[in-house]
Chain A
Amino acid sequence: MAPTSHPRLCNQGGPVPASAGIGLKAMHCDEILSSRPRIGWFEFHAENYMGAGGLPHRQLTAIAAHYPLSMHGVGLSLGGEAPPDKAHLQRLRALAERYRPGLVSEHLAWCGRGGHYFNDLLPTPYTPRTLERLCAHVDLVQTALGRQILIENPAVYLRFEESCLTETEFLEKLTRATGCGLLLDVNNVHVSAVNLGFEPLAYLEAFPVHAVAEIHLAGHLDESSAAGAPLLIDDHGSPVAEPVWQLFAAALRLCGPVPALIERDNNIPPLAELMREAARADQMLAAEARTAPGALRAAS
């Protein structure tokens, strides 16, 4: 076996450590494989690896041999009325069996309706009825995959009049009923807070932090017009913004150190730029681990 400067990272997959990870992009794969950057883990989008073969699978197989992986799905439409599509669930299960990701996550959202898909994470009302439905869908997925999944809080632009539970109450009840974990996206918290006019720190304090097993950090776009209300768009197209770093620090104090992802899906920069953001997240995680040694539950 070829020697490597970071043998501790060559663990053939396995648990995702409580350190910074980077969202895997096809354009970075060659560089990752040739330079083996010092990064704790990578997260891949499940739907991008649902082709039958070819270069994407070859690259992911090679990366899985050197780094732990997290699998992030966008297509199960868990918040929809219909249960997750059986064929899609089967594809997800096949990927999980092939790549053995340490974490599997999906969204509190829906993305399809009546056999049509929108390629977007759409909002859902928060009512006892939609909660019951989501719980049934999460149960179904956890049973099919034979493991716990994490559910991510959404970035939202509006509310439903019929909602009678807050998002944090809704997520709390979801984790209690299904045993699922949560993926806390602090950029989504910031974006939703600005768009809907709530206090992000109060949201974090109400968040069921006991269930948080991963954090997402990303950039957003400010589309506020001079005349209208503030409007932020969750576009993952720029570096993590300062208010989001501040929310990350607050989240770490509440959750303890957990795996934290630098997510970038648009205007993708060179890998080195994402590595710099990951280094900042790692410093904050390490500082939190020093001040709260008892909170190391997510590290293996």
Chain B
Amino acid sequence: MSPAPDMLDRFAVALMRPGAAPPQGLCAAKAPDMAARFNVYRNNVFAGLIEALASAYPVTARLVGEEFFTIMAREFIIAHPPASPVLLEFGAELPEFLASFPPAAALPYLPDMARFEAAWLGAFHAADAAPLAAADFAAIAPEQMAALRLDLAPAARALSSPWPLLHIWQAHQGETEPEFIDIERPGGDLLITRPAYEVLISPLPPGGADFAAALVRGEALGRAAEAARCADARFDLTAALAALIRGGACSHLSLTAKP
């Protein structure tokens, strides 16, 4: 019986353990230093995945600097190797990982920045959907509003943060490092969506992210508004709805049987 299955298993295990010796059973005609040859594969794996992570989270990477990001990314890759050959799906766990990564504690807004960038990338690759316009809502009578079922576009994501994420993100869209970021600015709720081919970001009024989350769960408008008001007493349905419509985040509406 061939030892092939064991061979590839041992190859895979050693690959993901930096510093570990290469598995037995390898050779190279003119290379006595097998470890260096095996390291080419290991370096390719780590360098490729670190680069993929940095391109998915460009502002997060710039906030911590290249050296920190590389060390952090190595630990992340060992803890969360890709679960799919589709690299677009790699790195979804980074925000949670950063939240419990002690060396990143000095930048308390870092996990939220990563959440924001994950939402941006998700919106970029999401399924296309034509957005509803304000006129599409004109036929809805006020008494029907509570029973309205509003579907958000597949690209639409809302998030809430105490940190000024949009300010930080915008400050890092140029080639050069920003001179100053004012992290004392207020945070708030943001809408990230893609009504056409460009990802658009807009602020949502207080409670807007909870409202959007309830709509995504399938709640009718009335119940979604209640949920949002529970989370934030300042919630205003008209303002939140207007922001979602203006942002191009609504893709379909229908009337439910009961509110």
Contact = CB atoms under 8 A, between A and B. Distances in A.
Interface of A: 47-48, 50-58, 74-77, 80-81, 85, 88, 91, 110-120, 122-125, 127, 129-130, 133, 157-162, 195-198, 223, 228-231, 233
B160 to A, nearest CB: 25
Nearest to B26: A158
Given A127-B2, A160-B27, 16 more contacts: A47-B86, A53-B127, A55-B124, A56-B125, A58-B197, A77-B85, A80-B8, A88-B85, A91-B86, A112-B85, A114-B9, A115-B83, A118-B15, A129-B4, A160-B7, A196-B30
Interface in B29-46: 29-34, 36-38, 40-41, 44-45
B27 A161 contact: yes
A78 B30 CA distance: 28
Contact of B29 (A47, A58, A74, A198): A198
Given A54-B126, A110-B8, A158-B34, A116 B83 contact: yes
B84 A52 contact: no
Nearest to B52: A119
A77 B84 CA distance: 11
Given A161-B26, A195-B28, A231 B36 contact: yes
B87 interface: yes
B82 A158 contact: no
A86 B74 CA distance: 29
5 contacts: A119-B49, A119-B85, A119-B87, A120-B45, A158-B38
B48 A119 contact: yes
A172 B105 CA distance: 56
Nearest to A56: B125
Among A50, A119, A228, which residue has the most Cβ atoms of chain B within 10 A?
A119
Given A55-B197, A119-B87, A162 B126 contact: no
Interface of B: 2-5, 7-9, 11-12, 15-16, 25-34, 36-38, 40-41, 44-45, 48-49, 52, 81-88, 90, 124-128, 154-155, 194, 197
Contacts of A161: 25-27
Contacts of B194: 54
Most chain B beta-carbon neighbours within 10 Å: one of A48, A158, A231: A158
Contacts of B12: 113-114, 116, 118, 122
B83 A52 contact: no
A117 B7 contact: no
B5 A117 contact: no
Nearest to A114: B12
A196 B81 CA distance: 30
A289 B100 CA distance: 62
A48 to B, nearest CB: 8
Contact of B37 (A51, A120, A158): A158
Contact of B4 (A56, A85, A113, A162): A162
Contacts of B88: 47-48, 50-51
Contacts of A127: 2, 4
Contact of B154 (A52, A113, A233): A52
Contacts of A122: 8, 11-12, 15, 41
A118 B45 CA distance: 6
A229 B30 contact: yes
A263 to B, nearest CB: 16
Given A54-B125, A118-B15, A81 B5 contact: yes
A53 B8 contact: no
Contacts of B31: 158, 195, 228-229, 231
Contact of A157 (B37, B82, B84): B37
- 3 A-B pairs closest in CB distance: A75-B85, A51-B125, A52-B127
A230 B3 CA distance: 30
B252 to A, nearest CB: 16
A162 B31 CA distance: 17
Given A157-B28, A158-B34, A161-B27, A54 B128 contact: yes
A206 to B, nearest CB: 17
The listed residue with most B CB atoms (<10 A of its CB), out of A52, A57, A117, A228, is A117
B197 to A, nearest CB: 5
Contacts of B38: 157-158
B230 to A, nearest CB: 33
Contacts of B7: 125, 160, 162
